[in-house]
């Protein structure tokens, strides 16, 4: 309905979309059939202000004709007698108007005149040596001016023919269409461009075809030109201003031009001088000479690459709109949520290429706005439906989950209800431990056990939701600590990345969590997280009366040790080298140390993951990596120098820690250097 009763503002926006496609297409190859003789600034400087004496113009037209110009069209009108003509002072002196009239009779010049939509005092009408016949037009919609500004009689009579050179800008002043026909006093008259083509064809009979909506096309000889219902040609503009060959009128008068540039060409005489106010706006250019608009229309007709609106355009548009709606509703229903945006981008590009091809390859002008609007409305509806369905499924899943069993375990139990779940198995898992810093102090400050539990629930709820969101399994809560793991009991692709992303997001979520906790409990929470990947034993463990699915093993313990080490290094997240090597995504990570934790005889390389709330410049990171490389290589003096520089520039617990380690070896040279830190406590 909106399309059928589209307001004018929508037409304007649709036109602007089509203008944009011209810019995307770029310029077409230059035509060698049309030449513009320009009364430009240079010509005005050399021959004086406009209007020029008619004897000068006679000389201009004569030289064009002498150079072999095919047809000369005038984008100018001589509405008054030449005030500089000597005969005005004496009948014995030359009459410049008569000189120009004699030249017009001897040269292939098609004159120009202007129709007005206000009554004029002009009593004469233009003469045309052709017959215009209307066929099938059940509704007369051709533009009907109320007045005309002709050339003075001596010149109008001397011309073999003439045509109007009106342009009809759209609302906003943009020219997209040019009238080829107008009806004055019940008679059809051709435009300058149409009359030049008609004379070139040698045909004296032009048929204007139409239907119940008005004009549709006109034909004569080999030409079949599409029109809109008011008799205008939709111009397939070639490019911005100066796209066609321009020759200065002064160069023609002085003989400073290539004759081959004029010979057998359609020559339009007009002006690009700013002071003569004949500049127009087109999709490519906001200030193009009016004569070049005619050049574009003329070249359109010669090349036959028209833009046309089909007679039943409404049917085409409605069909396309509904096709887009149903097609993309169907396609969006088939694809997964994560791929909707990429698919939408590809689809928009495909629609652009389709409409581009229809417009420029087939020359058919269809509505662009409503198909585009229909597409985006379909996208919004599809995304909305997908969101509603996903939300309902999520709520249903939540209702099915028990409060004491993690969603992953519940899903696994339901799926494998007939299997022996008590039996243990070995598998690779990524384990995460998180812990609140200085929890004892926080507990003492809050005091009330009820408030402490409320505070912990406020903190743990979003953390647990985040772990579950990243397909992790909550194993247990150990006071203020959380233990979770990935890849058990169900396989999780890229489980190291999922665990790390969850850890990073938990750190980042503390800002919002503390925004709630701090005003209410007067405490601020900080946490440390350790992440490690390795082989664990998983299964349903416990007593016969009470058991739970969990994981155990040295690698679980190592993850816990990493969490404890975050305090020593002033880090938020520490990961093992095993986890580091399995990461697929891009993260900001730096090496921290080689550590031999209590209970293990082999050193473990650990890394710090730098979150967005911890600013480390690339310069600092580069300097730190160089210092660590020197330290691990045994050059403790150079390492000490760099760590000291880092501490001065970017004070950190980590840099102070390494400064002290360097001092130990510098002050006790009898010690055998080792970059490995052996931990004696858990």
Domain residue limits, the chain: 31-303, 313-400, 407-614, 617-682
pLDDT tens-digit series, residues 330-372: 887 787 777 888 888 888 888 888 888 888 888 888 877 788 8
DSSP state of 272: -
Candidate from 313-317, 498-502, 644-648 with smallest mean pLDDT: 313-317
Candidate from 8-12, 59-63, 612-616 with smallest mean pLDDT: 8-12
- Cα 117 to chain centroid distance, Å, stands at 42
Tally of residues, the chain: 682
Question: Around 104, how many Cα atoms within 13 Å sit in the side-chain half-sphere?
Answer: 26
- CA–CA gap between residue 225 and residue 223 (Å, rounded): 6
Find the radius of gyration of the CA atoms of the chain: 42
pTM value > 0.75: no
The pLDDT value given to residue 475: 86
3-state helix, strand, coil in the chain (%, to 5): 45, 20, 35
- What is the mean pLDDT of the segment spanning 46-60? 93
Average pLDDT, the chain: 87
Nearest Cα neighbor of 561 from 548, 551, 574, 571 is 574
Count of CB atoms situated within 10 Å of the CB of 515 = 9
Q: Which residues contact 114 (CB under 8 A, 6 or more apart)?
A: 77, 148, 149, 164, 165, 166
- CA–CA gap between residue 352 and residue 277 (Å, rounded): 37
- Is the per-residue pLDDT at 499 higher than 80? yes
- What is the mean pLDDT of the segment spanning 529-536? 96
Answer for the pair 335, 254: CB distance below 8 angstroms, yes or no: no
pLDDT tens-digit series, residues 402-457: 443 455 556 665 565 545 544 578 999 999 999 999 998 999 999 888 999 999 99
Maximum alpha-carbon separation in the chain: 134
Nearest Cα neighbor of 128 from 13, 220, 62 is 220
Q: Which residues contact 572 (CB under 8 A, 6 or more apart)?
A: 507, 527, 528, 529, 566, 608, 609, 611, 614
Residue linked to tokens 């100018």: 76
- Is the per-residue pLDDT at 574 higher than 50? yes
- CA–CA gap between residue 38 and residue 48 (Å, rounded): 14
- Is the per-residue pLDDT at 163 higher than 80? yes
Answer for the pair 611, 629: CB distance below 8 angstroms, yes or no: no
Answer for the pair 574, 531: CB distance below 8 angstroms, yes or no: yes
- CA–CA gap between residue 393 and residue 390 (Å, rounded): 5
Using DSSP, state whether 638 is helix, strand or coil.
helix
> Token pair of 236, please?
């397939």
pLDDT tens-digit series, residues 175-218: 999 999 999 998 999 999 999 999 999 999 999 999 888 899 99
- CA–CA gap between residue 309 and residue 226 (Å, rounded): 8
| Alpha carbon separation from 435 to 327, 334, 453, 479 (Å, rounded) | 52, 43, 15, 9
- CA–CA gap between residue 150 and residue 74 (Å, rounded): 13
The pLDDT value given to residue 402: 43
User: b/e per residue, 13-33, with b = 16+ CB within 10 A?
Assistant: ebbeebeeebeebeebeebee
By the 10 Å C-beta count (0-12 exposed, 13-18 middle, 19+ buried), 164 is classed as buried
| Alpha carbon separation from 455 to 137, 482, 503 (Å, rounded) | 82, 15, 20
**Can you list the alpha helix ranges (DSSP code H) found in 238-312?**
249-253, 290-303
Residue with the larger pLDDT of the pair 314 and 132: 132
- CA–CA gap between residue 484 and residue 408 (Å, rounded): 11
Residue linked to tokens 């590009």: 349
- CA–CA gap between residue 484 and residue 468 (Å, rounded): 9
pLDDT tens-digit series, residues 246-277: 999 999 999 999 999 999 999 999 998 887 77
- CA–CA gap between residue 494 and residue 585 (Å, rounded): 9
- 3-state SS, 159-173, equals CCEEEECCCCCCCCC
Report, at the CATH architecture level, how domain 407-614 is classified.
Answer: 2-Layer Sandwich (3.30)
**Banded model confidence at residue 489, pLDDT cuts 50, 70, 90:** confident
- CA–CA gap between residue 467 and residue 437 (Å, rounded): 20
- CA–CA gap between residue 201 and residue 195 (Å, rounded): 10
Nearest Cα neighbor of 16 from 181, 172, 127, 123 is 172
């Amino acid at each position: 309905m909106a399309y059928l009763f589209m307001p004018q503002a929508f037409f304007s926006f649709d036109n602007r979309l089509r203008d944009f496609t011209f810019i995307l297409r770029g310029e077409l190859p230059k035509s060698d059939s049309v030449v513009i003789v320009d009364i430009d600034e240079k010509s005005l400087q050399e021959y004086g202000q406009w209007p020029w004496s008619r004897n000068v113009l006679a000389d201009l037209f004569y030289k064009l004709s002498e150079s072999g110009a095919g047809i000369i069209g005038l984008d100018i009108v001589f509405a008054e007698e030449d005030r500089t003509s000597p005969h005005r002072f004496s009948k014995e002196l030359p009459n410049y108007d008569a000189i120009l009239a004699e030249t017009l009779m001897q040269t292939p010049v098609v004159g120009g005149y202007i129709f007005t939509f206000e009554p004029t005092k002009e009593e004469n009408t233009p003469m045309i040596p052709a017959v215009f016949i209307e066929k099938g037009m059940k509704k007369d919609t051709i533009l009907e001016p109320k007045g005309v500004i002709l050339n003075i009689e001596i010149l109008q009579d001397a011309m073999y023919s003439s045509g109007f050179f009106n342009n009809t800008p759209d609302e906003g002043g943009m020219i997209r269409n040019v009238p080829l026909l107008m009806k004055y006093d019940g008679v059809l008259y051709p435009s300058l461009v149409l009359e030049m083509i008609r004379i070139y064809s040698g045909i004296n009979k032009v048929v204007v075809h139409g239907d119940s909506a008005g004009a549709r096309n006109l034909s004569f000889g080999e030409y079949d030109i599409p029109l809109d219902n008011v008799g205008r040609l939709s111009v397939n503009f070639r490019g911005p201003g100066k796209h066609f060959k321009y020759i200065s009128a002064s160069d023609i008068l002085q003989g400073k031009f290539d004759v081959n540039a004029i010979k057998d060409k359609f020559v339009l005489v007009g002006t690009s001088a700013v002071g003569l106010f004949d500049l127009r706006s087109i999709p490519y250019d906001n200030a193009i000479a009016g004569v070049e608009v005619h050049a574009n229309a003329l070249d359109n007709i010669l090349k036959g690459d028209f833009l046309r609106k089909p007679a039943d355009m409404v049917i085409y548009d409605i069909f396309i709109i509904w096709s887009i709606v149903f097609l993309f509703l169907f396609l969006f229903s088939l694809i997964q949520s994560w791929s909707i945006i990429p698919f939408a981008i590809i689809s928009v590009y495909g629609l652009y290429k389709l409409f581009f091809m229809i417009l420029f390859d087939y020359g058919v002008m269809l509505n662009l706005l409503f198909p585009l609007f229909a597409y985006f409305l379909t996208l919004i509806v599809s995304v909305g439906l997908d969101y509603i369905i996903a939300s309902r499924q999520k709520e249903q899943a939540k209702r099915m989950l028990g409060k004491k069993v993690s969603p992953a375990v519940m899903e696994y139990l339901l799926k494998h209800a007939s299997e022996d779940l008590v039996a243990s198995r070995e598998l690779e898992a990524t384990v995460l431990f998180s812990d609140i810093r200085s929890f004892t102090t926080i507990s003492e400050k809050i005091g009330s056990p009820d408030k402490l539990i409320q505070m912990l629930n406020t903190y743990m709820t979003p953390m647990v939701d985040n772990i579950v969101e990243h397909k992790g399994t909550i194993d247990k809560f150990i006071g203020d600590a959380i233990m979770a793991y990935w890849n058990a009991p169900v396989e999780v692709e890229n489980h190291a990345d999922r665990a790390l992303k969850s850890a990073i997001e938990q750190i980042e979520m503390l800002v919002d969590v503390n925004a709630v906790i701090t005003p209410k409990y007067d405490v601020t929470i900080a946490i440390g997280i350790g992440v490690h990947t390795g082989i664990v034993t998983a299964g349903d463990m416990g007593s016969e009366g009470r058991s739970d699915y969990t994981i155990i093993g040295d690698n679980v313990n190592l993850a816990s040790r990493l969490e404890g080490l975050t305090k020593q290094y002033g880090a938020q997240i520490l990961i093992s080298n095993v986890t580091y090597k399995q990461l697929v995504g891009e993260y900001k990570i730096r090496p921290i140390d080689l550590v031999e934790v209590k209970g293990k005889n082999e050193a473990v390389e650990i890394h710090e993951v730098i979150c967005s709330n911890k600013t480390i410049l690339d310069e600092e990171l580069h300097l730190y990596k160089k210092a660590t490389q020197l330290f691990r290589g045994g050059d403790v003096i150079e390492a000490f120098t760099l760590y000291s520089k880092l501490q001065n520039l970017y004070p950190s617990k980590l840099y102070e820690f390494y400064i002290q380690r360097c001092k130990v070896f510098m002050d006790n040279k009898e010690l055998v250097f080792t970059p490995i830190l052996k931990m004696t406590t858990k």
